[in-house]
Structure 1
Amino acid sequence: MIEIKSRALLMAGASVALLASADLARADESKTDVNQVEQVVVTAAATQQKLADAPASISVVTEEDLHVRPIRDLTDILDRVEGVTINRSGNQRTIQLRGLGSAYTLFLIDGKRVNSTSAMFRGNDFDAGWVPVEAISRVEVVRGPMSSLYGSDAIGGVVNIITKPVGDHWSGSASVDYVAQENRDAGDAYKAGFFASGPLVGDILGLKVYGGYNRRLSDQNSVNPKTSSGGAPLSGIRDKHEAYVDGTLAWTPNSLNTVLVNTGGNRLTHDAFPMERLDWSLTHKGDYDFGQTQIRAFGDQIKNEVGNVSGQKNPNKATNAAVDGRVTLPWEAGRQTITIGGEWRRQKLDDPANLKGLPGTASYGQNTTTQVDQRALFVEDEIKLTQALRLTVGDRYDDHENFGGHHSPRAYLVFHATPNITFKAGAAKAFRAPTLLQNSPNWGSVSCGSATTGCYIIGSTELKPETANSKELGVRAEYDRFSAGVTVFRNDLKNMIDISSRTRDVTLAPTYSNFVGFLPDGRPIFRYQNIAKVRSQGVETNARFQLSDKIDLTANYTYLDSKNRSNPVELAMIYQPKHSANATVNVRPTKAWSLFATWNYVGEQFLAVYTNAAYNVKREGYGTVDVGAAYALDAATTVRFGVLNSADKAIKRETSDEYNEEGRRFFAAVTRRF
C-alpha cells in the first residue's frame, strides 16, 4: 500500500513540476493565451461557474463529441473520460467512477435525479440511455462525492445530462445512423432522431421537442461458438431497442421569471426486459436584484413489464416524486456567494411478485407496496479569500424515514497560481442510503441458483447507510495551444451493503452472520447486511495539444487501485482495470472535411475474484482503434462514415463472468440541420 501511495505522489509531483516549468517558460506570454471561450458548468456547485473555477474534478462531453462516432447510449462515450470505467457484467455496460460501482454514480437529467434501481433490483443498464444524443447539449461528469448537494447515491460522483435549451428562433436537426458488423452473425445497429425548438409567441412562449428510435440487434449464438468447459455456447450481446419522445414549454412573462413545463416518455427494451418510463417536471426560475431562485416539482413512473427473473413475468411499478428549491444570494461586501436549499423526495414501489413477505407465513401476499420519504436541507458558501483563491464549503443534512439523519460536509479550495496554472484540493464525506428494497423486510427474492431448492434473500431495517471519506489534489495548466492536468484521489468506503453471504446448504446456513431462519419448505433465508469496506485510489491525467490550426491531439490516462478490504486478505474489485488510456487525433484538412482516429485501451482486470486466488478470472489488457471522417455537403447537411475497432480486436465470452467486445464495424450517418 505504501508503494502505491508513493507511486501516486511521485506521479503527481512530477506532473506539478512539469506544469510549473511550462508556466515559467511561458511567463512572458500574454494573458490572452488562456482559452477565450471558457466552458461553463452547473453540476459541481450550487451556482453556474466557469470550468476552471468549479470546486470539483469535472469533465465535459460536448455536443460535438457526441456526434463524432455512433453513440447508442452514454456508456459509448463516457468510457473515454479519465476516471471512468465500465462494468461489463453479463454484457451490461454500466458507469463506474473512480473504482466505485454504478450504484454509487448518480445520474441526473437537467439536474433532476433518475434511478431505475427499485424497478430492476439486480442492476441494469437503463439509466445511461433515457435521453437520445440528438437532444443533449453536453454531459458533465463530476468525479468524486457530491452528497453535500445531491444526497444519497453520489458517493462516486455525478453524471448530469444537460439537454438543449429552448431557442429564440426555430432551429433543429434530424439524423440517421447505421452500424454494420463485419461478422454477419453479430447484430447490426441503427437509429434515427430529431430535435427542434423555437418560439410560439414572440419571446414569451417557446417550445422544444425531441424524439427518436434506437436498435441494436442480437448476436447469433455462433458469435460464441464454445465455452471453456465445452458446454452450450454463451449468448453474445442481446437485442436492445429504445424509443423516445419529450417536450418542454418555456414561458417567460418578463426578464425576471421563467417557467418550464416538461413531460416525456421512453420505452427501452434490453434483451427480454422492457422498461417504460414516463416523467414530468414543473420549474420556476427567478433572477432578481437580491439573487437567483429555483423551485421545481418533478417525478417519474417506471414500469418493469416483465420483472427481474428470466423466463417469468412478474411486473412491478416504481414511482418517484420530488420537490426541491434553492436561493442563491451574492454578498459582495463579504466576497461570498451563499446558496440555501432543500428537498423532499418520495419513492414508492408496487411489486406483487417480490413484496409479499415470507412465503408460508400468515401475512404472505397481504401487502405488495412499500414507500419511503426523505427530506433534506443544504447550504453552500463560495468565499473569495483573495482574487486568486476561492474556498467552497457546504453541508447537507438528510432526514431519511428509515435510518434517520445524516450530514454530508465538504470543503474545496481552488487556487489560480497564475493566469495559466490552477491548483485544486478538496475533502468530503458522503453517504448512500439503502435502496427501497434493501430496507424493506417485506421484500424477498429467490436466489442461490434455484427458485425451489435454493435460498431466499430479504431486505432489512437494521441496515446503516454506506459512508465514504474522499480526498483529492490536482493541478492544471491551460494555454491557447496546450493544456494538461493531473489529479490524485482516494476514497474510503465503509458499511457497503452486501448480500453475497448466502448458501443453499442447510447445514452451513446457520453459521452465516446474516442468516434469518428457514422457510416452511426448508430453504434458508438471508438478509442484506453492512460488511464490506472498499478503498479506491489512483491518478487521473489528461492533455490537449493544438499541433496546428488543422490538427489537434487529446489524451488521458487513469491509474486505479481498487480493493475490497472486508477480509483479512485484500481482494481486487472486479471489472476495474488498473490502467486505462485514450487518445484522439482530429484533422481538418479543409472546411468541409474532418477526420479522426481514436485509441482506447482497457488494462488488465479481474472478472471474478475469490479468497482462493487460484479460481480468479482475469482479462488481459487490450486496445481498440476507431477511424472516421465527416464531410459537410453544404451548410446544413453533414455525412459521417468510418470503421469501429478497425483492427478487429473482438472478444468472445467463454465463461459467464466474461463479456463480449464487438469486432470490426462500419458506420455511416447523415445529419440535417434546419
Structure 2
Amino acid sequence: MACNVLSLAQAQVATPTAHATLPTVVVSGARMEQANDDLPLSADIVSEEGLRDQQSRNLRQALQDLPNTEVRSSPARLAVGAGSAAFARDGNMGIQIRGLGGNRVLMTVDGIRMPRSYVSRSAMFDREYLTLETFKRIELVRGPASAQYGGDGMAGVVNFVTHDPSDFLKAADGSSKTMGGRIATAWSEEDHSTSLTGTVAAQAGEQVQWMLTASGRQGHAMQTMGTDGAANSNRTKADPLDTNDQAVLGKLVWKPNGLQRHTFTVEHSRKKLDADLLSSRIATPSKPNDVVNEFTTSTIERNRLAWDGRFGLHTAGADHVRAIVSVQHAQSHRLGQSFLNSGVHRVRDNRYEEQTWQLGLQADKVLRYPSWSSRFVYGLDWVRNSISNLYTGQAPLAPEVFPLKRFPDTHETSAGLFVQNETVLGDWTITPGLRIDHFRIDVQNQDLYFPPAPQPAKNMSGTAVLPKLGLLYRATPEWSVFGQYATGYRAPEAGQVNDRFRAQALLPGVGMVDNYIIANPHLKPERSRGMELGVRGRMERLNLDVVGFYNRYSNLIEDARLIERTPLKQVFQTVNITRAKIYGFEVKGIYDWGHVGSNTDGRLRSSFSYGQTRGKDVTSNSPLNSVSPAQLSVGLRYDTPHWGVYANARHYAAKRDQDIDLVSIGNNKAGTTQFATPSATTLDVGMQWRPRSNVRLNLALNNLTNQKYWRWADVYGQAANSPTIDAYTQPGRNIKIALTADF
C-alpha cells in the first residue's frame, strides 16, 4: 500500500515555507470553508492523491493511517440462522473515532447524511453504501460535533466529497478546456478484484458544466492467512465469495451569474455479495438442526437526488446563503438459505430500508473592524427519515412466525437551529457555538410487530441545548496552541427503543433454551462533554501536531447487552451505561528533507502518526471494548516529476487482557477468555511512474514480510481457544496495480 500517512500529512498541513502552497481548506470542521490550521480542533484530510497512491478498495484502507481511527471489518462468516450469535457481523460495519463508532459518527456525502447501520442479534446491515472512486477527498473531524451537526456527530464527522465537473476541465498547464475526463483500471491480489472507472465532463456554454462517472468492480473474498480449507466449521480460509459493485454519479452545475451556483446531483450505488458459507457446515452432521449447506446473497443500494444552491447576497444580514434539498433511498437485503440434516430448508429474507428527506439553510456574515473581525455562520437543519424492516422466509425458529418486524415502521425526525461565531483578535481566535436540537421517534403502525410483541412500540421525543467553545492562539509565526470544549448528544434510534426478538434452541443435556431481545422504551439520549488541547508547529521543514483529549459520557447506549442468564433463558436489551470516559492523545507530522542526491527534481520526505486511546465504563469500573490498541505509522517517500517510491511501516500494539470487558462481550462462560490480539508490525512498499504527464501507473506490494496479524475491531467476541481464530487474520503478502489516464 502506498505511503498513505505521508499523503495525509501533506494534505492536512501546508508544505514548508520555502516551498509553500495554498493552505488546505476544510469544510466539515466549522460548516464553512476554513484553513485547516485555523481550526481549534483536530481534523484530517485524505486527498485524492492519497486515495489513489494507496489504491484504497474500502474505508479501512482509506483511513488506516489516521491516528485513533478504525474501521470494523470481519470475514463473511455470518450464518443464516445465527440470530442469537453474539457479535456475529460481516462487512465494514462503520468508522470508529477515538473509541466510539457506528451511528455515533456522522457520515455524509457532499453534506448529505448517509444511511445508518442497523445491528440486532438477528441481523446486521452495515453502512458501506460508498464507492471510493467517485470521491476527490475525505474530511474527518474528531470529537463531539453535535453543536454543528446535531446528534449523529457525537463521536465525529466524516464527509466524503465527490468530484465536480471543473476537476476534469483543467489542462496540465492550468488552462481551461471544454471537455475532459479520466479512465482508470485496477487489480488487487488481496481479494482478486478488478475495477474500471470512467468519467467524462464538459463545458456547455458559459453557464453550464456537467459530468458523468460510472464505476464497476468485481472481486472475491478478502484473503486471510488461515490454512484450513475444509468445507465445514473448521475452515480458516475465506469462504467462497463473489462481489459486484456498481456506482454512477452525475452532476450538472449551473452558474447563471457571478452570485449564484446551482449543483444538481444524481447518485446510484449498488453492492452485491454472493457467499457459499462453507464455514457454517457441520463437519459430521448428527443432529437434526446441523447445517449441511448454506448460502447467502446480500445487496445494498443507495439512490440520491440533491440540489445545492449557493447565493451571494452581500446584505446587512448575510454575505452568502447556501440551501440544500435532497431525497435519498437506501435498502439492504439479505437472502439466506440453510439446508439442515433433518431435510428442512430454512430461508431468511431480511430487509432494512430508509428514505430520507434533508433540508438545510445556512448563511454567513463577516464584520470587519480596524483591530478585529468577526464571522457568523447560522442556519437550520431538518431531516425526516422513514425507516422500515421486514423479516420473512420459511422454517422460522419457534415461537416466531413469518412475516414479522423487529421494530415497527417509524418516522425519525430531527430539527436543529445553530449559530457559530469566529472572532479574530490579534493573535487570538475565539469560536463559540450553540445548537438547539429536537428529535422525535413516531411509530407509524404496529403491523407485524404487536402482536407478537408483548406490548406496543413506543414513541419518544426530546430537546437538547448544545454549546461549544474553541480557542486558538498564534504564539509565533511557527507555533500555535488550540483548545476546544464541546458537548455531544445522540438520540436513541427506533431499532434500539423497540427492537424485539425471540427464538428457542435445543441444547444437548440442557433442554430448550429461550433467547430474547426485549424493547427498552425508557432509553435515554446519550450525552457527552469533551475537552481537547493541542499544539501545531509549522516550521521550514517540519510540520507537527500534538493533541490530547478527554471526554466524559452519560447514558452511553450499548446494543443488545446480556442482562439476564439462567440455564434455560438468555435475555438481551439495549441499555444505557450510566457513566463512561474516553481519553488519549495523537501525534502526527511530516519532515521535508528537501532535494537528496544528484536528481535536483527529487524530494525526500518522511512522516509519522501515533494514536492512543483508553476507555472505561465508570459505573462498573470495566474497560470499553470499542477502544482499539495504539497504532504507529511511519513513512518514507521519494518523488520526482516522473516517478516516485515509498515505504510505509505500521505497528499495532497488543490488546491487553486488563483492557477487555468479558461480561460485556457475553463471553463470560467459566473457563473461557477473550482472544487478545498480539502486537504486529507490517511493511508496505510501492512506486508510481508517469510515462506521460496524463498517465500514471501505481504498483504496491503490501505486507512485504508476510506478517500474520489481527485487528482488535474484527475479533472481539472471539474466544482465545477458538480453533478458527485464523479466519480473522489480515491478508498476507499481496500486490496491487492501477493505471490511470486523464484526457
Q: TM-score range by the shorter chain?
A: 0.7 to 0.9
Letter in 2 for 1:279: R
Question: For 2:729 and 2:404, how far apart are their aligned partners in 1?
Answer: 41
1:198 CA drift (Å): 2.8
Question: For 2:423 and 2:337, how far apart are their aligned partners in 1?
Answer: 52
Residue 562 of structure 2: SS of its match in structure 1? coil
Counterpart of 2:31? 46
Match of 1:396 among 435, 450, 453: 435
Contact 2:112–2:358 (8 Å) recurs in 1: no
Cα 1:40–1:503 change in 2 (3 A) is closer
1:364 CA drift (Å): 7.6
Question: For 2:246 and 2:578, how far apart are their aligned partners in 1?
Answer: 38
Question: For 1:609 and 1:449, how far apart are their aligned partners in 2?
Answer: 26
Cα 1:221–1:107 change in 2 (3 A) is closer
Residue 419 of structure 1: SS of its match in structure 2? coil
Question: For 2:627 and 2:504, how far apart are their aligned partners in 1?
Answer: 22
Deviation string 1:132-153 (CA, Å, 9 cap, x unpaired) is 23x3221111111111111112
Letter in 1 for 2:374: Q
Question: For 2:560 and 2:572, how far apart are their aligned partners in 1?
Answer: 10
Counterpart of 1:192? 196
Give yes or no for the alignment of 1:262 onto 2:261.
Answer: no
Question: For 1:366 and 1:222, how far apart are their aligned partners in 2?
Answer: 37
Question: For 1:394 and 1:212, how far apart are their aligned partners in 2?
Answer: 40
Question: For 2:223 and 2:23, how far apart are their aligned partners in 1?
Answer: 47
Deviation string 1:231-277 (CA, Å, 9 cap, x unpaired) is 62246375543210011111111111111111111111355321111
Give yes or no for the alignment of 1:604 onto 2:654.
Answer: yes
Residue 43 of structure 1: SS of its match in structure 2? coil
Counterpart of 1:587? 638
Letter in 1 for 2:314: D
Contact 1:83–1:143 (8 Å) recurs in 2: no
Cα 1:413–1:365 change in 2 (3 A) is closer
Match of 2:487 among 426, 429, 433: 429
Deviation string 1:406-431 (CA, Å, 9 cap, x unpaired) is 12211001111111111110111101
Q: 1:251-650 residue pairs with structure 2 within 5 A?
A: 251-270=254-273, 272-290=297-315, 291-306=319-334, 312-333=348-369, 335-353=373-391, 368-384=408-424, 386-401=425-440, 402-439=460-497, 441=498, 443-446=499-502, 453-502=513-562, 505=565, 526-531=572-577, 533-549=579-595, 550-567=603-620, 569-574=621-626, 576-577=628-629, 579-588=630-639, 590-605=640-655, 609-611=661-663, 615-650=673-708
Residue 66 of structure 1: SS of its match in structure 2? helix
Letter in 1 for 2:468: R
Question: For 2:484 and 2:547, how far apart are their aligned partners in 1?
Answer: 11
Give yes or no for the alignment of 1:673 onto 2:742.
Answer: yes
Cα 1:88–1:493 change in 2 (3 A) is farther
Counterpart of 2:457? none
Counterpart of 2:180? 171
Contact 1:213–1:244 (8 Å) recurs in 2: yes
Contact 2:351–2:389 (8 Å) recurs in 1: yes
Q: How many residues align?
A: 611
Letter in 2 for 1:204: Q
Question: For 1:298 and 1:338, how far apart are their aligned partners in 2?
Answer: 25
Letter in 1 for 2:180: S
Cα 1:525–1:545 change in 2 (3 A) is closer
1:655 CA drift (Å): 5.6
For structure 2, which runs of at least 5 residues remain unmatched after alignment?
1-15, 75-88, 170-176, 276-296, 339-346, 393-397, 441-459, 596-602, 716-721
Question: For 1:661 and 1:113, how far apart are their aligned partners in 2?
Answer: 30
Cα 1:294–1:435 change in 2 (3 A) is same
Residue 480 of structure 1: SS of its match in structure 2? coil
Give yes or no for the alignment of 1:206 onto 2:230.
Answer: no
Letter in 2 for 1:347: N
Counterpart of 1:24? none
1:479 CA drift (Å): 2.3
Residue 466 of structure 2: SS of its match in structure 1? strand
Contact 2:563–2:571 (8 Å) recurs in 1: no
Counterpart of 1:152? 151
Contact 2:635–2:648 (8 Å) recurs in 1: yes
Letter in 1 for 2:684: D
Question: For 1:585 and 1:410, how far apart are their aligned partners in 2?
Answer: 38
For structure 1, which runs of at least 5 residues remain unmatched after alignment?
1-30, 182-186, 510-523
Cα 1:34–1:55 change in 2 (3 A) is farther
Contact 2:212–2:248 (8 Å) recurs in 1: yes
Residue 349 of structure 2: SS of its match in structure 1? coil
Contact 2:334–2:351 (8 Å) recurs in 1: yes
Cα 1:353–1:72 change in 2 (3 A) is same
Residue 242 of structure 1: SS of its match in structure 2? strand
Contact 1:562–1:576 (8 Å) recurs in 2: no
Residue 107 of structure 2: SS of its match in structure 1? strand
Contact 2:309–2:323 (8 Å) recurs in 1: yes
1:506 CA drift (Å): 5.7
Tell me the TM-score normalised to structure 1 length: 0.83
Question: Structure 1 residues 412-421 or 119-128, which shifts more?
Answer: 119-128
Contact 1:455–1:502 (8 Å) recurs in 2: no
Cα 1:173–1:644 change in 2 (3 A) is same
Residue 335 of structure 1: SS of its match in structure 2? strand
Cα 1:464–1:487 change in 2 (3 A) is same
Question: For 1:449 and 1:252, how far apart are their aligned partners in 2?
Answer: 63
Residue 149 of structure 1: SS of its match in structure 2? helix
Counterpart of 2:131? 131
Question: Structure 1 residues 493-502 or 540-549, which shifts more?
Answer: 493-502
Contact 1:118–1:349 (8 Å) recurs in 2: no
Question: For 2:741 and 2:383, how far apart are their aligned partners in 1?
Answer: 41
Contact 2:225–2:729 (8 Å) recurs in 1: no
Cα 1:606–1:76 change in 2 (3 A) is farther
Contact 1:226–1:234 (8 Å) recurs in 2: yes
1:450 CA drift (Å): 8.7
Letter in 2 for 1:278: N
1:383 CA drift (Å): 1.3
Letter in 1 for 2:418: F
1:35 CA drift (Å): 3.5
Question: For 1:288 and 1:273, how far apart are their aligned partners in 2?
Answer: 48
Question: For 2:724 and 2:387, how far apart are their aligned partners in 1?
Answer: 31
Letter in 1 for 2:72: N
